[in-house]
Structure 1
Amino acid sequence: MRIGVLLSERAGVAALGRLADDVRRAADDGFPSAWLSQIFGVDALTALAVAGRGVPGIELGTAVVPTYPRHPAVLAQQARTTALALEGRLTLGVGLSHKIVIEEMYGYDFGRPVRHMDEYLSVLLPLLNGENASFKGETLRGDIGLSVPNEGRVPLLLAALGPKMLKLAGERADGTVLWMTGPRTVREHIAPTIAAAAKAAGRSEPRVVCVLPTCVTSDAERAREQAAETFAMYGSLPSYRAMMDREGVEGPAGLAVIGDEDTVQAKLEELAEAGVTDFIAAEYMPGDDRARTRAFLKGALAR
């Protein structure tokens, strides 16, 4: 199992410079990948193109870009431009987002999410692969080619938690990227569902990229309290709530990877055995705990 880090969105006018420092540090620390979420701050693809250019040897990924607000051809063009800036080191993670965001904030219809994603990929994937796209569906259409001069394709991961989305990810994408999903759920639901779909479609073994809050600490109770506060909103979103119920935990704090070095190491081994191919640590505690967490993760790279 590879180990990467989730980049924290920076504030202020120097945000991109600080993000570039974080990417450089992740690469210098030996992490094979670093990932950036997209919520309501900086645009993830633009930020990675700026912050990651000139930092060789590290995969940079989005976790994840919502599909609804952008036509798939527009997203493909931006992703391929970002991949060009990063010399082919981009992995594009996309997802549906959530009904409360797509309907109430953006004003799009969220009534047929699986149909939307299936048709979205029918335009996005050919363009990411350097081919022309010609598709007319029930929710969107596209008849276009791009001239961005990439040397190869842009890998795609699909945020998928339900069985239909996991099947789609296995059949058409390079894997899935998860958030708020624990080892029991990966072992019993995520990994077997996506692997079976990929095998049936004649595709290679899919990546299972699992992002979780992580803290190596001597004060696990305080770290859990902070996790409960920091990530409270995810417990109210239906897709993540369903994963917590599968895992048998009350809320996000129950999914966070927290404890001393031996405890966290055991949790990472459990995730690897469950089928996670890439563990991405969201280092959320400040100060000494953050430094201790990073030191542990660097050491784990050599294990």
Structure 2
Amino acid sequence: MGTVSILMPLVPMRSEQMLPYAALVQWTSAARLWQGHSPLIDPLDSFTQTAGAGFRVPAGIGVALMPYRHPMQAALQFRSLALATGHPVVAGFSPGDPRIQEALLGRPYDSPLRATREYVSTVRRLLAGEHVRLGGDYVRCDMSLYPLPHPGVEVGVGMLRPRMARVAGEVADTAITWLAPASYLREELIPRMREGAAEAGRPAPRVAAIVPMCVDAPDRDPLQVLTAGSSSHLSSAHYQDMLRRAGVAVDPEDLSKTAEQVIEAGAFLTGDPTGLAGRISDFHDAGADEVVINLTGTHQLSGTAATLAEIETVLKETEP
């Protein structure tokens, strides 16, 4: 059985919004608290402020967008976060939307795969204490970090499709999925990731699957919960492409029809707490080492207290 973690179900605008979720990680079986990219407060700052408030927990970022940070800055900031929390950190990266690449870099990456390979390998080498001399297509670096003992930083890659899964296998410590069904992990992503690792002559990365879900309730419509928490993903071209590859019938003109198929495919989980625990185990059985509970939709519709109670209920069911 792998581990189970928690995703912050909201984009925090104040650091104190993090504290109840960090407390759950401290006091329950949850392995880690995760955040996604935030356009408000940088997730690294939120975690550091939370640590300063006395809630020092293992952190995961799934994912930071590469155009926002040079690899040297990324390595320094994530090492600083590991020092602030006193725990290992998962630093997940993604090339992001081409529009963001153009806005920050002047033009989109010609090859997001090569850009990810250069970026992630540079961050890993810097964190390993190497002096990196690289004049790549996307990364230029001739520096090293000052030596400083610190809790480990796992450098991750967000993988949605097979070619990025191979890149993750080549260069990452952790491969991170979001909204991907367990069957797609088992049959497509993880085999391609392992192939990439074998070709690079290195161990395969850990896999962390961020999975949206909700507990069944008499007054709750899972379709409404899914669309409340994941509409931006369901509307995104690269997520739609991933879902099609996973066998989901995507309707670009009708978000509700796509959401129905996402539930049918098991990319969004629903059921009673015991049933949810079993479906989380399906992801572990498919090869995920860590499953991250994503109750963003529940938070959107029902608020913080209901979300915290639901997370705690699911965690209890997943305990050995």
Alignment TM-score, normalising by the size of structure 2 = 0.85
Counterpart residue identity of residue 266, structure 1: G
CA contact (8 A) 2:29 2:319 kept: no
Instruction: Indicate whether 1:4 and 2:16 are aligned.
Output: no
> 1:33 is matched by which residue type in structure 2?
R
The amino acid of 1:244's aligned partner reads: L
Give the conservation status (yes or no) of the 8 Å contact 1:216–1:296: no
Give the whole-Å Cα distance in 1 for the aligned partners of 2:244 and 2:199: 29
State the Cα distance separating 1:292 from its structure 2 match.
5.1
Q: Which amino acid aligns with 2:311?
A: R
The question of whether the paired residues in 1 share the 8 Å contact of 2:89 and 2:153 is answered with: yes
Tell me which amino acid in the other structure corresponds to 2:5: G
Alignment-derived partner of residue 66 in structure 2: 67
How many corresponding residue pairs?
300
State how far apart, in whole Å, the 2-side matches of 1:79 and 1:224 are.
36
Q: Which moved more, 1:137-146 or 1:15-24?
A: 15-24
Q: Quick one: which amino acid aligns to residue 58 of structure 2?
A: E
Deviates further, 243-252 or 275-284: 243-252
Give the AA of the match of 1:206. P
Aligned to 2:253: none
Change (3 A) 1:61 1:280: same
State the partner residue of 1:26: 25
- Alignment partner, residue 297 of structure 1: 314
Show CA shifts across 1:245-276 (max 9, x none).
13333435522111222432332122122111
Equivalent position of 1:282 in the other structure: 294
Deviation at 1:148, TM superposition (A): 5.9
Alpha-carbon separation, structure 2, partners of 1:203 and 1:220: 49
Q: Could you tell me how far 1:152 is from its partner in structure 2?
A: 5.4
Gap change, CA 1:228 and 1:197, over 3 Å in 2 = same
Cα distance in structure 1, aligned partners of 2:203 and 2:161: 21
Q: 1:220, 1:259 within 8 Å by CA — same for their partners in 2?
A: no
Contact kept in structure 2, 1:76 and 1:127, CA below 8 Å: yes
After TM superposition, give the deviation of residue 138 of structure 1 in Å: 1.7
CA contact (8 A) 2:120 2:155 kept: no
In structure 1, the residue corresponding to 2:68 is in which secondary structure?
Answer: coil
How far apart are residue 136 of structure 1 and its match? 0.7
Q: Which residue of 2 aligns with 1:215?
A: 214
Map 1:263-274 to 2 at 5 A.
263-274=275-286
- 1:235 aligned counterpart, secondary structure: helix
- Pairwise CA distance, 1:197: 2.2
Deviation readout 1:147-192 (Å, 9 max, x if unpaired): 2623354211111222222112112111211111111111111111
Give the C-alpha shift of residue 83 in structure 1.
Answer: 1.4
Q: AA paired with 1:257?
A: L
Identity %: 22
Query: Structure 2: where are the runs of 5+ without partners?
Result: 251-257
For structure 1, which segment, 101-110 or 142-151, has the greater mean C-alpha deviation from structure 2 after superposition? 101-110
Contact 1:220 1:258 in 2 (8 A): no
Q: CA deviation at 1:219?
A: 4.0
Deviations 1:71-93 (A, max 9, x none): 11111111111111122421211
Query: Shift of residue 115 of structure 1?
Result: 1.6
TM-score by length of 1: 0.89
Q: Larger deviation: 102-111 or 293-302?
A: 102-111
Using the alignment, how far apart are the partners of 2:67 and 2:15 within structure 1? 25
* 1:225 CA displacement: 1.5
Which deviates more, 243-252 or 112-121?
243-252
Q: In structure 2, do the counterparts of structure 1 residues 39 and 18 end up closer, same or farther at CA, with 3 Å as the change threshold? A: closer
